[in-house]
Amino acid sequence: MVARSTAIVFVYHTIVKVNPTTVALTFLLGVLILSASWGLRPAVCTAIVAAAAFNYYFLLPVGTFAIADPQNWVALFAFLVTAVIASDLSERARREAHNANERRRDVERLYGFSQHLLSSDNVAELLNAVPGYILDSFGGKAAAVSLPNRPDVYRSGPGTDGLELLFFYSFS
């Protein structure tokens, strides 16, 4: 985080002389890249460090944290707000992509489960296989299926006698 800001300051302050707008946009690009790869908190910390470095090295009077021109206050504030908002948006996009992938995996499991259900022509065989399919598709320690008009309980394995009732769905 600080290394990137230090590198930007070193290049633009000692090697290549550029205007403050170029420096601010470079800092902003660095914050956006960090936000996309590391998340909101590191990006906000970097934005604060970058804003302080921008103020100290590139805004008049250079070498102080004082700002002489009121327009530079606006520029500094706009930079900081833009960096924080962009970081938040990047984090939100990452979170939404993660949620979309989880929903996709759920749909794939449901599709696979439905394919298992449709592949059997024998109802008794299907009822015996459903608890195992449930475990394969959704995880868990044990599963059981009971129909309301039949006394039989179809279990995923022999050790499921003490299975607690977690989910009940009536097929009527």
- Say if residue 103's pLDDT is above 90: yes
Contact indicator for 110, 136 with CB cutoff of 8 Å: no
Res 98 pLDDT > 90: yes
Contacts of 80 (CB under 8 A, 6+ apart): 47, 48, 51
Residue 96's pLDDT is: 94
pLDDT at 164: 54
Closest CA to 83 of 38, 37, 4, 24: 24
Q: Give the per-residue pLDDT at 172.
A: 47
- CA–CA dist 168, 100 (Å, integer): 28
User: Is 92's pLDDT higher than 70?
Assistant: yes
- H or E segment at 80? helix 70-118
Whether pLDDT at 37 is above 70: yes
Beta bridge partners of 66: none
Question: What residues does each domain of the chain span?
Answer: 2-98, 120-155
Note whether 30 and 4 are within 8 A (CB): yes
Q: Name the residue with tokens 């504030």.
A: 77
123-136 pLDDT tens trace:
778 888 888 887 87
HSE, CB side, 13 Å, CA atoms: give it for residue 107.
6
Whether the CB-CB separation of 59 and 72 falls below 8 Å is answered with yes
pLDDT band at 159 (very low <50, low <70, confident <90, very high): low
Mean pLDDT on 142-153: 79
The better pLDDT of the pair 24, 99 is held by: 99
Q: How confident is the model at residue 162 (pLDDT cuts 50, 70, 90)?
A: low
Residue in this structure with the two tokens 């990006």, named with its chain if needed: 43
Q: What is the mean pLDDT of the chain?
A: 80
